Amino acid sequence: MSETKSQAPKKLFIKTYGCQMNVYDSERMAESLEGYVPTDTAEDADMILLNTCHIREKAAEKVYSELGRLKPLKALNPDLKIGVTGCVAQAEGEEIIRRQPAVDLVVGPQSYHRLPQMEARVRTGKTALDTDFPEEDKFNHLKGRGQKARRAPAAFLTVQEGCDKFCAFCVVPYTRGAEVSRPAEQVVREAQELVERGVREVTLLGQNVNAYHGGKTLAELIRMLAKVDGLERIRYTTSHPNDMDDDLIAAHADTPELMPYLHLPVQSGSDRILKRMNRKHTAESYLRLIEKIRSVRPDIMMSGDFIVGFPEETEADFQATMDLVEEVNYGYAYSFKYSTRPGTPAAERPQVDPAEADERLQRLQALISRQQYAIQESMVGRELSVLIERAGRQDGQMLGKSEYLHSVHIDNATAQIGDVVRVRCTRAMTNSLTAVEV
């Protein structure tokens, strides 16, 4: 007999905005909602969750716009439930339900372990709101990753949340709360569960990951994870220069599983702007830190973040950023035009003319692109280590990531998904490399 509609599993659609931590959170939310199977389309769903980010300008309005597009789906499926999760949920709270009555539940990033209870409540026709910063650790209430179907060989793993730095442009301390770290044993246990499901590489996540203090330092945690049988690669992001201690630097030399790639945001090359940002480091201290890191791992690939057009930034301030980028020579970098975040100190300061900020951003991105491509060109002829993540579009082609996080297309591959293979790079393209097995 075929399944009746009442017995069929409900379908869950999650749209994830923003950072890698939101990707991780979306996975954990989906795992917590028993009786649901994933679907790729909102139109097919019985529950829709928008896992939101509050970092960029007009983030909340973009969420309201998306909710307006989703609202008509309720007429097609009266049982459809819509939820808003993540940092916009934390910041807006009851305002979301007031402005968009189609929303059934709102839950912040520290409370999503309560999703099953909230889902049960909304199924009775009530709304559910939870944007508290609960005393209990949500990770103690989330289920283990379990013996579910095998998954992609690279995974995110949150180890730290929140930030105590209070940069003048940032809302994270208000939406994610104070810095908290998961116990090292709990992190290792989750990594073991992921490995049992086919994961070979984990990226340790935190708003300020190198401030990790879960009974161990981040360097100690990395060395513990390096002993997990079957876990071949470890990365971490995002770091603050002021928390990059000597032992963590040493781990880049003494732990082969720690990949030679480091994302270390500086935001500006101008000491005046860094002080206005409340970053508490200088351009010189950042450059000396890069020197120290490269002294123990000369081949490390550096990545960074930059904000252009920060309030009161002058052309001289911007030129200092360009000079810093020239000196570091980034393999990757992410650059953004400053966007006002209401409630942050920088929002009340004199703003840079938008056209001037746009022009500076274009100049910076052009420099970063030249550096990135030159480094990719330098890979041609070199041997690289690649984790195979999926099949390519062409017959016999596999796609993966190098130890330096380059996307690599391997032609005529014999390796399978989850394998780590040696390849020789044959060609550099704009955003990827082509290689053959050796």
**pLDDT tens-digit map of 12-60:** 999 999 888 899 999 999 989 988 999 999 999 999 999 998 776 677 8
Residues 268, 306 contacting (CB under 8 angstroms): yes
Token pair 């189609």 is found at 102
Which secondary-structure segment (H or E) carries 243? none
Three-state secondary structure call for residue 113: helix
Alpha carbon distance 215, 183 (integer Å): 6
- Pure H helices in 147-270: 172-175, 184-196, 218-225, 246-254
Neighbours of 93 (CB within 10 A): 16
144-259 with 263-378: one CATH topology? yes
263-378 has which CATH code?
Answer: 3.30.750.200
| CATH pick for 383-437 out of 2.60.40.1510, 3.40.190.10, 2.40.50.140, 3.40.50.620 | 2.40.50.140
- For position 146, what pLDDT does the model report? 62
All structural domains of the chain with their residue ranges: 10-130, 144-259, 263-378, 383-437
Alpha carbon distance 106, 108 (integer Å): 7
H helices then E strands: how many in the chain?
15, 19
Residues 269, 325 contacting (CB under 8 angstroms): yes
Q: How far is CA 350 from CA 62, 219, 226, 251, 339, in A?
A: 25, 41, 48, 43, 13
The residue among 11, 5, 3 whose CA lies nearest residue 33 is 11
Instruction: Order the strands of the 332-337 sheet from edge to edge.
Output: 261-263, 301-308, 332-337
- For position 382, what pLDDT does the model report? 97
Three-state secondary structure call for residue 17: coil
- For position 148, what pLDDT does the model report? 61
- For position 4, what pLDDT does the model report? 44
Residues 333, 304 contacting (CB under 8 angstroms): yes
Residues 311, 350 contacting (CB under 8 angstroms): yes
**Phi, psi dihedrals of residue 210, rounded to the nearest 5°:** -80, 5
Q: Is 429 left (phi over 0), alpha (psi -120 to 50) or beta?
A: beta
Write out residues in the chain with pLDDT < 70, as ranges.
1-7, 56-57, 134-136, 141, 145-150
Three-state secondary structure call for residue 274: helix
Cα angle for residues 259, 204, 195 (degrees, 5° grid): 85
Three-state secondary structure call for residue 256: coil
Domain 10-130 -> CATH class: alpha beta
The residue among 190, 202, 172, 185 whose CA lies nearest residue 87 is 172
- For position 3, what pLDDT does the model report? 44
Beta bridge partners of 425: 435
Query: At 187, which amino acid appears?
Result: V
Alpha carbon distance 19, 33 (integer Å): 22
* Total-model pTM: 0.86
Domain 144-259 has CATH 3.30.750.210: yes
- For position 392, what pLDDT does the model report? 87
Alpha carbon distance 403, 410 (integer Å): 15
DSSP string computed for 286-329? HHHHHHHHHHH-TTPEEEEEEEES-TT--HHHHHHHHHHHHHH-
